[in-house]
Amino acid sequence: MSTLLQLHTPEEATDLAAAMLSACHDRRVFVFQGELGAGKTTLIKAMCAELGVASGTSSPSFSIVNEYRTATNQPVYHFDLYRLKNEQELDGIGFTEYLDSGNYCFVEWPELAKKHLPAGAVTVRMRVNENGDRTIEVSL
């Protein structure tokens, strides 16, 4: 099942994040695909805010994974796999353990991790249109 959505301004990410989390309430792993600047991190920040992460969200480009805490102290994991060179590096960060934790996991640049992703992962493909809007395809 696939749904197409439009994001016209960064401010709309809040409503989009709420709708996505509501529609996928039983899913915990979300993978984000799209070119640099497509808005992956912006949407993940909005999803974290919707989950009650108070502050401190940022792209984990250099750390590979950031851990955030919700107001109820639940962990939320945000991965940026862009800098990884091979699949073996995933073992070094305990990637599978994070995915199996039952906590929310948001994964940017998931291509290297395809074999490790659970069958129920939500795929979010983002594309920048000629007018600057984003088309977002959400697949369950």
Nearest CA to 65 out of 85, 39, 84 is that of 84
CA distance 22 to 8: 20
Q: Side chain identity at 47, as an amino acid letter? A: M
pTM, two decimal places? 0.92
**pLDDT at res. 54:** 81
Q: pLDDT tens digit string along 55-91?
A: 777 666 667 899 999 989 999 999 999 999 999 999 9
Instruction: Return the CATH class of domain 2-139.
Output: alpha beta
Nearest CA to 21 out of 56, 49, 61, 2 is that of 49
Lowest mean pLDDT among 15-29, 43-57, 112-126: 43-57
Domain ranges of the chain: 2-139
